[in-house]
């Protein structure tokens, strides 16, 4: 438990046991500053040091001629899930941390309702991705690692062939997805049990479900996941509004991206499109 003491607040239980009660709220500012620092460093790097992207191979003129002007990327179901999740996530962050920085309001009801919406949406997404989408498209594979190594070598000035164009989701997207899974599931898993400590009308209130120590550790994990999400959400919004990423962001609104953007950045062998019938812009599996 010693490793937790600098970042948690402790109290003495009625039975004389020293137990954690929540994270140290200074971690809110640590997470926010870490996210801001990343944004500043990345913006400076892109502005002054980044080199133009270079990929192996040429774009097939035959493929370019037969592709539709708009390349489908996200189905309506996937887009609705994303924006419902985003709304519930922002609600959770605001209701959790605004009271801790001095903005007082009755936040508990809004927080557990938003948490319930997020939980249901995540369960739906897992089922939807498992049976209706390409489940493995968002997970790193061998080609991702090999291409990342080529980029590292070229960044360090060492001789290396250019990497291939990206799969549907580049490695950085996949790694971010993994970080969101870890923090999000930690927050959701602990949050579901914490519903037993408030009167929701959904679950029977039972504050004695766990020992004081277990409850305390659960609150600490929930808080750590929450402050981690502050930085992760900041990074996500930052990349969403960067000019070079706007085609990707717009595809989460309109469902498709420009053909030129697809041909410039993506490898048709790694993100295979089913050629649509005349007048249609659909793929076989949209994620």
For residue range 47-84, what is the model confidence (pLDDT) as tens digits? 999 888 899 988 888 888 899 999 999 999 999 999 99
Residue extents of the structural domains in the chain: 29-56+77-253
Q: Determine the pLDDT at residue 275.
A: 56
Q: Over the stretch 77-135, which tens digit does the pLDDT of each residue have?
A: 999 999 999 999 999 999 999 999 999 999 999 999 999 999 999 999 999 999 999 99
**Residue 177, CB-side half-sphere exposure with 13 Å CA sphere:** 14
SS3 140: coil
In 10 A of CB 177, how many CB atoms?
14
154-182 pLDDT per residue, tens: 989 899 999 999 999 999 999 999 999 99
User: Is pLDDT above 90 for 231?
Assistant: yes
CATH 1.20.120.1200 for domain 29-56+77-253, yes or no, is: no
State how far the Cα of 259 lies from the Cα of 67, in Å rounded to an integer: 7
What pairs with residue 11 in β-bridges?
Answer: 19
Tally of helices (H runs) and strands (E runs) in the chain: 9, 4
Please state the separation of Cα 272 from the chain's center in Å.
24
Q: What region, left, alpha or beta, does residue 276 occupy, with left being phi > 0 and alpha being psi -120 to 50 degrees?
A: beta
At residue 12, what are phi and psi to the nearest 5 degrees?
A: -100, 125
User: Is-contact 178 186, C-beta < 8 A?
Assistant: no
């Amino acid at each position: 438990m010693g490793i937790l003491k600098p970042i948690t607040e402790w109290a003495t239980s009625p039975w004389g046991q020293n137990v954690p009660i929540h994270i140290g709220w200074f971690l809110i500012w640590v997470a926010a500053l870490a996210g801001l620092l990343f944004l500043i460093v990345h913006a400076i790097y892109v502005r002054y040091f980044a080199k133009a992207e270079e990929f192996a191979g040429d774009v097939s003129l035959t493929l370019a001629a037969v592709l539709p002007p708009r390349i489908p990327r996200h189905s309506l179901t996937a887009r609705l899930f994303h924006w419902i999740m985003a709304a519930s996530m922002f609600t959770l962050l605001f209701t959790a941390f605004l009271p801790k920085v001095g903005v007082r309001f009755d936040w508990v009801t809004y927080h557990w309702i938003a948490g319930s919406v997020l939980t249901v949406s995540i369960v739906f997404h897992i089922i939807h991705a498992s049976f209706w989408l390409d489940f493995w498209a968002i997970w790193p594979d061998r080609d991702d690692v090999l291409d990342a190594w080529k980029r590292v070598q070229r960044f360090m000035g060492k001789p290396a062939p250019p990497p291939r164009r990206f799969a549907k989701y580049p490695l950085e997207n996949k790694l971010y997805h993994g970080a969101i899974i870890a923090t999000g599931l930690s927050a959701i898993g602990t949050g579901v049990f914490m519903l037993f400590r408030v009167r929701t009308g959904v679950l029977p209130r039972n504050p004695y479900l766990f020992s004081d120590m277990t409850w305390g550790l659960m609150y600490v994990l929930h808080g750590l996941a929450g402050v981690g999400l502050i930085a992760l959400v900041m990074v996500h919004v930052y990349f969403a509004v960067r000019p070079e990423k706007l085609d990707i962001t717009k595809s989460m609104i309109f469902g498709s991206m420009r053909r030129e953007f697809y041909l410039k950045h993506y490898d048709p062998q790694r993100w295979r499109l089913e050629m649509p019938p005349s007048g249609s812009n659909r793929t076989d599996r949209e994620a």
